[in-house]
Chain A
Amino acid sequence: MKKKVVYFLIFIVIAIFQLSFIPVIFEKKAVADAVLMAILAWSILDGFFAFLAWAIFFGLFYDIISYSVIGTHALIFLVVVYFVSFFSRRFSVEMKGFGTILFLLFILVATLASNATIATIFVWKMQNFHGFWQSFGSLKTVMIQLVYNTFLFLILFMLIRKIKQFFAIEV
């Protein structure tokens, strides 16, 4: 029960931060994604089986409060959780040495998968596939987004780990 309450409260704060703070502060188009980075951090800390249900639940909840097409973020988070677990089983995921490169790879894949999914669903809804790259973002925009996301990931990874330790939440 404690885990459920703590996880839900953390997610609500991050979701509000993403919806009501980040888009105002960050440069237009190149907006960091705190929610995505939190899901990535959780996936690494908790693992596939412990976090899969949470990822789907958070995805659907975020779709509801962010006026997204229902299922969009749940699908993105599913891809992220699976991708992380695929590499976690084969390599040691730690914030040192080769592990650092894996972390950067996770951030890159999560960001690209998120942009591509959102852009695809958006142009499909609009029935105008010429707008895909405008929705996805230019190379410059994506690069800036990756830098922002890396910083956010590091902060959220450490924050979630500390909170889990503080409340003695096991996987």
Chain B
Amino acid sequence: MQGIISKKIFKVVIIAFFLIGLIITNPSGFFNPARNVFTTMLAPFQKVFYSFAVGIEQTGDFLGSIGQLKHENEELMKNNQQLLTEKALLRDVDNENAILREQLDLLPRGSYELTGAFVVSQDPNGMGNWLEIDKGSSDGIEKGDSVIVSKGILIGRVQEVNVKTSKVVLLTNPASTVNVTSLKNGTKGVVKGEYGLGIIFDMILQTDAINIGDEVITSGIGGGIPRGLYVGTVQEIHPSSDHLFQQAVVISPVQASKLRILFVIKNNK
């Protein structure tokens, strides 16, 4: 008996059973105090490492793309002219919208209470499932808060909140589902992640219209995420595997893995 207990394989099997038990029961709440302490201590160092990595990455991207810059500049000049025209039209619509909102007693859209946060780490398994930010419950961050960049591009939601840090689940995470609508036709559905590979606009009824190039925004249904946040553009459409719905591949304008600063929308539940 003594011989068996002292054997390597016996120790390994016992520890393995204990660890599998931990995985199955997943007592993450029990470890939250330890996570609070460690993430608070490590966040400043992580911020330095992350900023350094983004700096290196951006330098590499810049050196690799010098040849494309001239062409892109010409394209941007054309887009700028087009946007100036659209802006003039939208200003008129905006005035009309303000009058209608006043008459209907609606609050102005896009007036969120934002908190800026630095990204300090991200999913180390390359699946692009989450980011960690340097703001937590002490900064008023709450579970379920929406996370955006550039004044309204949704990238995810806060899933776990520590004292000084929070975990943001990205739209590319399969655990993430957000109610959305297409801007052009009002087609409704949900967007969910594809294991870090992209975003799928799912549950689109066969009778609803959806086209390549359509812009997708949050619908606000369910109340968790404000209406009108930009999610991305439809790139590809195909039927779902059971042929009951249509699915569309949505491309987000931001690459979440290279973000350094983002904004959390507070008090918008």
Contact = CB atoms under 8 A, between A and B. Distances in A.
A binds B: yes
A20 B49 contact: yes
Given A64-B38, A65-B42, A70-B23, A19 B121 contact: yes
Interface of B (DSSP majority class): helix
Interface stretch (A10-18, A93-101, A151-159): A10-18
B38 A134 contact: no
A74 B15 CA distance: 9
Tell me the dominant secondary structure on chain A's binding face. Answer: helix
Interface in A131-167: 131, 134-135, 137, 141
B241 to A, nearest CB: 9
Interface string B1-42: 000000011011001100111110011100100110011001
Interface in A25-59: 25-26, 28-31, 33, 35, 48, 52, 56, 59
B50 interface: yes
Given A19-B124, A23-B257, A28-B257, A121 B49 contact: no
A21 B20 contact: no
Nearest to A25: B53
B124 A66 contact: yes
B126 A26 contact: yes
A7 interface: no
B160 interface: yes
B41 to A, nearest CB: 9
Interface size class on chain B is 35 or more
Interface stretch (B77-85, B192-200, B210-218): B192-200
Nearest to A30: B126
B28 to A, nearest CB: 6
Contacts of B167: 67
Interface residues of A, number: 47
A82 B10 CA distance: 11
A25 B57 contact: yes
A139 B27 CA distance: 34
A75 B15 CA distance: 8
A17 B175 contact: no
B230 interface: no
A21 B196 contact: no
A46 to B, nearest CB: 14
Given A67-B167, A70-B28, A18 B19 contact: no
Contacts of A131: 174, 195
B12 A75 contact: no
A81 to B, nearest CB: 8
A22 B46 CA distance: 12
B52 interface: yes
Contacts of A171: none
B196 A29 contact: yes
A21 B34 contact: no
A85 B50 contact: no
B160 A67 contact: yes
Contact of B53 (A20, A61, A67, A70): A20
B196 A78 contact: no
A126 interface: yes
Contacts of A107: none
Nearest to A62: B124
B126 A72 contact: no
B151 interface: no
Contacts of A122: 127
Given A23-B123, A70-B23, 11 more contacts: A19-B122, A20-B47, A23-B126, A24-B50, A28-B196, A67-B167, A71-B20, A71-B23, A82-B9, A82-B12, A121-B23
Q: What are the nearest 4 A-B pairs in CB distance? A: A31-B126, A71-B22, A24-B53, A19-B121
Interface of A: 12, 16-26, 28-31, 33, 35, 48, 52, 56, 59, 61, 64-67, 69-72, 74-75, 78, 82, 85, 118, 121-122, 125-126, 128, 131, 134-135, 137, 141
15 contacts: A20-B49, A20-B50, A21-B50, A24-B50, A24-B53, A28-B128, A31-B125, A48-B8, A65-B39, A69-B23, A70-B27, A71-B23, A74-B19, A78-B12, A126-B174
